Structure 1
Amino acid sequence: MAFPELLDRVGGLGRFQVLQIVALVTPILWVTSQNMLENFSAAVPRHRCWVPLLDNSTAQASVSGDFGPSALLAISIPLGPARQPHQCRRFRQPQWQLMEPNTTATNWSDADTEPCADGWVYDHSTFTSTIVTTWDLVCDSQTLRPMAQSIYLAGILVGAAVCGHASDSDGVDISPGPPLDDDLECLGLQLRAHPDRLCGLRCAQLEDAAAGCLCPLLPLLCIFVWSPPTPVHFRWLPESARWLLTVGKLDQGLHELQRVAAMNRKKAEGDTLTVEVLRSAMQEEASGDQTRARLGTLLHTPGLRLRTFISMLCWFAFGFTFYGLALNLQALGSNIFLLQMLIGVVDLPVKIGGLLLLGRLGRRLCQASSLVLPGLSILANILVPHDMEVLRSSLAVLGLGSLGAAFTCATILSSELFPTVLRMTAVGLGQVAARGGAILGPLVPLLSVYGSWLPLLVYGVVSVLSGLAALLLPETKNLPLPDTIQDIQKQSVKKVTHNTAGQSILRSTWL
Structure 2
Amino acid sequence: MAFGDLLEKVGSMGLFQVIYICFLSIPVLMIASHNLVQNFSAAIPEHHCQANIQMNGTQSNFTRYLDPHDLLKVSIPLDGEQRPEKCLRFTDIQWRLLEDNNTVLGLKTEPCQDGWVFDDSIFASSIVTEWELVCDLRSLKELAQSLFMAGVLIGALIFGGLSDRFGRRAVLLWSLLMIGVMGTGAAFSPSFPVYCLFRFLSGVGLSGLLLNYICLSLEWVPTKFRAIVVSFQAYCSTAGQVVLAGMAYWLRDWRWLQLAISLPFFIFFLYSWWLPESARWLIVNNKTKVALRNLKRVAKMNGKKEEGEKISLEMLQLEAAESAPKASTHSILDLFRTPAMCRISCCLMFVSFSTNFAYFGLSMDLKNFGLNIHLVQMLFGGIDVFAKIICGVALNFFGRRTIQATSLILAGIFLLVNTAVPLDMHTFRITLVMFGKGCLAASSLCTYLFGGELFPTIVRQTGMGFITMMARLGGIVAPMVLMAGDYVLFLPLVVFGGAPIISGVAACFLPEMLNAPLLDTIEEVEERAKRKEVVTIRENTKEIVIQTIEGTRL
Give the alignment's TM-score, normalised by structure 2.
0.77
Query: Hey, what does 1:321 align to over in structure 2?
Result: 358
Query: Hey, what does 1:505 align to over in structure 2?
Result: none
Matching of residues 33-182 of structure 1 within 5 Å = 33-53=33-53, 55-59=55-59, 61-63=61-63, 65=65, 68-100=67-99, 103-104=102-103, 107-108=105-106, 112-175=108-171, 176-177=174-175, 178=209, 179-180=212-213, 181-182=215-216
Residue 390 of structure 2 corresponds to residue 353 of structure 1: yes
2-side partners of 1:451 and 1:161: how far apart? Answer: 34
Q: Taking structure 1 as reference, are residues 170 and 91 closer, same or farther at Cα in structure 2, changes over 3 Å only?
A: same
Matching of residues 405-416 of structure 1 within 5 Å = 405-412=442-449, 414=451
Q: Secondary structure at the match of 1:216?
A: coil
2-side partners of 1:366 and 1:389: how far apart? Answer: 29
Query: Hey, what does 2:313 align to over in structure 1?
Result: 275
Alpha-carbon deviation of 1:221?
A: 5.5
Describe the superposition over 1:342-366 as per-residue Cα deviations: whole angstroms up to 9, x where unpaired: 1111222211222444566665554
Which has the larger displacement, 34-43 or 236-245? 236-245
Alpha-carbon deviation of 1:423?
A: 7.0
Query: Hey, what does 1:9 align to over in structure 2?
Result: 9
Q: Secondary structure at the match of 2:7?
A: helix
2-side partners of 1:184 and 1:308: how far apart? Answer: 19
One-letter amino acid matched to 1:209: A
Kept in 2: contact 1:292–1:421 (CA 8 A)? no
Q: Secondary structure at the match of 2:273?
A: coil
Describe the superposition over 1:236-278 as per-residue Cα deviations: whole angstroms up to 9, x where unpaired: 3113334444555443332222111111111122233333333
Describe the superposition over 1:143-199 as per-residue Cα deviations: whole angstroms up to 9, x where unpaired: 111111111122123233433444434344533125222464333344346653332
Kept in 2: contact 1:32–1:204 (CA 8 A)? yes
2-side partners of 1:155 and 1:11: how far apart? Answer: 38
Describe the superposition over 1:382-420 as per-residue Cα deviations: whole angstroms up to 9, x where unpaired: 566766654444333223222111213434555677788
Match of residue 210, structure 1, among 222, 246, 253: 246
Which has the larger displacement, 365-374 or 292-301? 292-301
Alpha-carbon deviation of 1:127?
A: 0.6
Which has the larger displacement, 52-61 or 292-301? 292-301
Question: How many residues of Structure 1 are paired with residues of Structure 2 in the alignment?
Answer: 492
Query: Hey, what does 2:407 align to over in structure 1?
Result: 370
Which has the larger displacement, 413-422 or 395-404? 413-422
Kept in 2: contact 1:333–1:393 (CA 8 A)? no
Query: Hey, what does 1:507 align to over in structure 2?
Result: none
Q: Taking structure 1 as reference, are residues 375 and 422 closer, same or farther at Cα in structure 2, changes over 3 Å only?
A: same
Alpha-carbon deviation of 1:430?
A: 2.8
Describe the superposition over 1:58-87 as per-residue Cα deviations: whole angstroms up to 9, x where unpaired: 24752364x543333232212225332111
Match of residue 455, structure 1, among 458, 476, 492: 492
Which has the larger displacement, 84-93 or 419-428? 419-428
Describe the superposition over 1:463-508 as per-residue Cα deviations: whole angstroms up to 9, x where unpaired: 34444x347536848796795425435569988899xxxxxxxxxx
Alpha-carbon deviation of 1:104?
A: 3.3
One-letter amino acid matched to 1:266: K
Which has the larger displacement, 90-99 or 239-248? 239-248
2-side partners of 1:475 and 1:278: how far apart? Answer: 30
Unaligned segments of structure 1, at least 5 residues: 499-511
Q: Taking structure 1 as reference, are residues 371 and 221 closer, same or farther at Cα in structure 2, changes over 3 Å only?
A: same
One-letter amino acid matched to 1:349: F
Query: Hey, what does 2:231 align to over in structure 1?
Result: 197
Describe the superposition over 1:306-332 as per-residue Cα deviations: whole angstroms up to 9, x where unpaired: 654343222111111111221231133
Which has the larger displacement, 257-266 or 473-482? 473-482
Alpha-carbon deviation of 1:15?
A: 0.6
Kept in 2: contact 1:350–1:401 (CA 8 A)? yes
Matching of residues 250-329 of structure 1 within 5 Å = 250-284=288-322, 286=324, 299=336, 308-329=345-366
Which has the larger displacement, 246-255 or 292-301? 292-301
2-side partners of 1:48 and 1:269: how far apart? Answer: 72
Alpha-carbon deviation of 1:51?
A: 0.5
Q: Taking structure 1 as reference, are residues 59 and 375 closer, same or farther at Cα in structure 2, changes over 3 Å only?
A: farther
2-side partners of 1:244 and 1:420: how far apart? Answer: 11
Unaligned segments of structure 2, at least 5 residues: 176-208, 534-548
1-side partners of 2:432 and 2:440: how far apart? Answer: 12
C-alpha root-mean-square deviation of aligned residues, in Å?
Answer: 3.7
Query: Hey, what does 2:187 align to over in structure 1?
Result: none
Kept in 1: contact 2:354–2:474 (CA 8 A)? yes
Alpha-carbon deviation of 1:118?
A: 0.5
Query: Hey, what does 2:199 align to over in structure 1?
Result: none
Query: Hey, what does 2:219 align to over in structure 1?
Result: 185
Kept in 2: contact 1:362–1:475 (CA 8 A)? no
Match of residue 439, structure 1, among 470, 476, 481: 476
Alpha-carbon deviation of 1:8?
A: 1.9
Q: Taking structure 1 as reference, are residues 171 and 427 closer, same or farther at Cα in structure 2, changes over 3 Å only?
A: closer
Q: Taking structure 1 as reference, are residues 384 and 88 closer, same or farther at Cα in structure 2, changes over 3 Å only?
A: farther
Kept in 1: contact 2:341–2:525 (CA 8 A)? no
Q: Secondary structure at the match of 1:48?
A: strand
Query: Hey, what does 1:488 align to over in structure 2?
Result: 529
Kept in 2: contact 1:314–1:466 (CA 8 A)? yes
Alpha-carbon deviation of 1:367?
A: 3.3
Give the alignment's TM-score, normalised by structure 1.
0.83
